[in-house]
Amino acid sequence: MKTRKFQVVSSAVLALALACGAALKPAQAVTVNEPSGINLGGTSFFDALGKYTPGLIYQQYFQMQHFNAINDTNGNAIPVFKNTSITAIVSLNQFIYVSPYHLFGGVLGAMAIVPLVDLNASFAHDSPVRLVANRGMGVGDITWGPFIAFPPVIRGGRPVFAQRMEFDVISPSGSYDTSKDINPSSGFWSINPYWTVTLLPTAKTELSARFNYLHNFTNSQPASSAPLPAGTTTQAGDAGWVNFTASYEVLPKLNVGLNGYYFKQFTDDQVNGVTQKGTETESLSMGPGATYMFNQNNIGFLNVYLPVVKKNTTNGFNVILRYIHAF
């Protein structure tokens, strides 16, 4: 099924870690972040399978993220952030339209995701660096885009392979306070094309992977609790990542398995057009998950992500509960 999960806090805090800790240049305390809205781990089981007849699909996500450290380029906690506690509770509403039109054998459609984000951050009173969050409930960045979904390949009377391609735009439409370090919105535009595939080697096993690319545009109003020189601009580096799952049907309608993601930033961030060396991010998280199909039109998912590798980013856990209803 189509899915997309928002990495709201870690993407925003990443830049602050880089500016205030990893790069160890407190004077350059400017947010250079990957966008709020990228799908780090939201891809779940049977990702490329979905609805192929005209109609609507609604997905509701509840996500809880908690981070207790901000790591440097070597994966070690940055000491200038003492007693880090950053929490985001996210409610996502995804609307998917499957059209009656076809192209190259695939079904054309479009989707939009509207997030609501509740942020909170705290640090020790004697912490050398204390980040300021745009607290409370706010609207996050809306993601939207067209897709083409190819009906599954059938062998032996059952599906064995499915794929979908999508071109998403992340628009800076969310709550954004330039005087705060951590915001629901990233404050800039991004594009995120991806290709997702699902393999079904046997009637009870499933393998899925979503391959993403990310390009970020310039932020002409970067956020920071410290005063910034007039005209300061930032641009987060390009990145790629893969979300992956593997599951097995242990009971009728119930699959359990492993889910994870690996994220790698390809180019360094820029401030005022100048490359900031050593700001590339690397992240690997994995954990258990399960999905239950109540019926053909109602499916539930539970995914847990625990940190394995965290370089130039926040360090913590992530839990996602998701419900899908197809009309």
Residue 283, phi then psi, degrees to nearest 5: -150, 135
Domain assignments of the chain as residue spans, ordered by start: 8-326
Task: Kindly list the distances between the CA atom of residue 32 and the CA atoms of 150, 204, 217, in Å, as whole numbers in the listed order.
Answer: 37, 44, 11
Which two structure tokens, joined as six digits, stand for 234?
Answer: 């930032």
Look at residue 10 and give its three-state secondary structure.
Answer: helix
The pTM of this model reads 0.88
13 DSSP assignment: H
Average confidence score pLDDT of the chain: 86
CA pair distance 85, 223, nearest whole angstrom: 20
The per-residue pLDDT for range 92-150, each reduced to its tens digit, is 899 999 999 999 999 999 999 999 998 888 888 888 888 888 887 889 999 999 999 99
The per-residue pLDDT for range 50-106, each reduced to its tens digit, is 999 999 999 988 888 888 888 888 888 888 888 888 888 888 899 999 999 999 999
Residue whose pair of structure tokens reads 């109003």 in the numeric block: 221
The per-residue pLDDT for range 249-297, each reduced to its tens digit, is 999 999 999 999 999 999 999 999 999 888 889 999 999 999 999 998 8
Task: Kindly list the distances between the CA atom of residue 99 and the CA atoms of 1, 50, 161, 269, in Å, as whole numbers in the listed order.
Answer: 16, 13, 22, 39
Q: CA neighbours within 13 Å on the CB side: how many for 322? A: 29
Which of 199-213, 223-237, 252-266, 286-300 shows the lowest mean pLDDT across its residues?
Answer: 223-237
Give the CA angle between residues 4, 10, 13 to the nearest 5°: 145
Give the CA angle between residues 87, 88, 94 to the nearest 5°: 165
Residue 86, phi then psi, degrees to nearest 5: -125, 125
Q: Are the C-beta atoms of residues 94 and 58 closer than 8 Å to each other?
A: yes
Residue whose pair of structure tokens reads 């009637």 in the numeric block: 203
Inform me whether the pLDDT recorded for 310 exceeds 90.
no
Closest residue by Cα to residue 243 from 8, 41, 1? 41
Q: CA neighbours within 13 Å on the CB side: how many for 33? A: 34
CATH entry 2.40.128.130 includes domain 8-326: yes
